[in-house]
Structure 1
Amino acid sequence: MFKIEDIQNYSKEQLEGVQAIAAAYGDYSKKSYEDVKTFVEKLSGVKSLDKALEVQTEYAKSAYEQFVAESQKIAGLYADLVKQSYKPLEGLATKFTPAVAR
């Protein structure tokens, strides 16, 4: 049936997947915070409305692009985690699936 080592390895893989997702969220949060800080510094130094709109537009575009890229990265990590979680069930499913006549 199941070996203790298999269960331990499975648990370790799941934990590593969750840690990778948490690290990605942490990295994105840090980067986002730094970007907001830089934006506020730039915005506080502008002297005209045109320049303020330019800085704001630049920030909004950059923030959106970064959000999309990080969201795709994190979604990929979640997909990998789901694939790992179904690995033990693949072998089990083949045992109970009737053979198809060829």
Structure 2
Amino acid sequence: MMQFDQMQKLTRDGMDVAMRSLGAVSTGTQAAAAQTADYAKRSLEQGSHMAERLMGSRTLDAALQVQAEFLRASYEGLVSQATRMGELASNTAKEALAPVESFAARSTRSA
């Protein structure tokens, strides 16, 4: 049977683990927000540049070429951003779960 001191230490350790885990989630969320803001800024700049080029097009073929280049670049940027966000989410989950896994392993051993 667990003593009061053991239960108190286990509770304190559990709170410490929860705080470290939430800290990792917070850091990951901040990184995701920063990456999303950067992507939005780049997309807006690319869209503005494309609109300028489109207005400067003299022929329909030139306009279609500008639009095709923009769509290709936009798609590649989206795929790249989605990959980065997926990696960030995966890393954040690993970092958030690491303290919980070690706590669970210690708690199981000491029980």
TM-score by length of 2: 0.76
Separation in 2, partners of 1:30, 1:22: 12
Segments of 4+ in structure 1 off by > 3 A?
Answer: 3-11
User: Cα distance 1:5–1:88, how it changes in 2: closer, same or farther (>3 A)?
Assistant: closer
CA displacement at 1:85 relative to structure 2: 1.9
The Cα offsets for residues 55-102 of structure 1, whole Å up to 9 and x where unpaired, read as 0111111111111111101111111111122112212443448xxxxx
Structure 1: where are the runs of 5+ without partners? 98-102
Greater helix fraction, Structure 1 or Structure 2: 2
Q: Which amino acid aligns with 1:70?
A: Q
The Cα offsets for residues 37-65 of structure 1, whole Å up to 9 and x where unpaired, read as 00111001111011011101111111111
Whether 1:66 aligns to 2:66 is: no
Equivalent residue number for residue 35 of structure 1: 46
Aligned-residue sequence identity (percent) comes to 29
CA displacement at 1:14 relative to structure 2: 2.2
Equivalent residue number for residue 57 of structure 2: 46
Equivalent residue number for residue 87 of structure 1: 98
Which protein has the larger Cα radius of gyration, Structure 1 or Structure 2? 2
Equivalent residue number for residue 57 of structure 1: 68
Equivalent residue number for residue 100 of structure 1: none
